[in-house]
Amino acid sequence: MNKKRTVGILIFKDAEVLDFAGPFEVFSVTSELNNFEPFEVFTVSESLDPVAAINGFSVNPTHDFYTCPDLDILIIAGGFGARQIKHNQKVLDWVTKVHQQTEFTLSICSGSLILGSLGLLKSKPYCTHHQVYPLMEEIVPLGLPQKEKRFVNAGKIYTSGGISAGIDLAFHIVEKLLGKEIAKNTAEYMEYHRNSYALEDGNKEF
């Protein structure tokens, strides 16, 4: 088993629940099934106040920006709230700082808006929610939208399509780091059938 990696999931008001809960489940169950050795998984928000995700789902973040340990993997949730949070300079500054030290930075669904607003997707392939591509094309006119893909890689950045696609991306990272057998065992435990089109020949890593 490799070193234990910290996985921090950025949440905010009106974040889409499955955007953060799906990857949280994949990484945390993987860790649970392997003596809690692979990952330490937690949520992060601007403050420790309860976060009202979409449709009133209340979440108590584990860390705020001040208490958050160094992250190996940063996951940025999406949802309607991403349209507002992309204007929050405190959030943008924190993501910029953390991204510089991560092994991988992931956005789920419209979480791509944060990466796009930071200029991190310029001239790079990206995925997002199907309804968000027009806005992304305004924010990142030189980006390379991959509308037919479930998720896509650009260096250490990964972006996924809408909502449930984040689960497939999380499984891909688990498989990349820990191998097919561990990813398969997690999927079987979760009774989750991974999308066969998640990573095909045409969805190569960049």
Q: pTM for the whole thing?
A: 0.94
Residue 159: partners with Cβ closer than 8 Å, 6 or more residues away: 106, 107, 111, 112, 115, 121, 126, 127, 128, 151, 152
Average pLDDT over residues 75-104: 97
For 26-54, the pLDDT digits (tens) are 999 999 999 999 999 999 999 999 999 99
In contact, 81 and 52? CB cutoff 8 Å: no
Q: Which residues pair with 41 in a beta bridge?
A: 7
Identify the CATH number of the domain defined by range 5-203: 3.40.50.880
Read off the pLDDT of each residue in 64-69 and give the average, rounded to a whole number.
98
d(CA 70, CA 60): 20
Task: Assess whether pLDDT exceeds 90 at residue 195.
Answer: no
Q: Domain ranges in the chain? A: 5-203
Beta strands in 11-93 (DSSP E): 39-44, 51-52, 58-59, 73-76
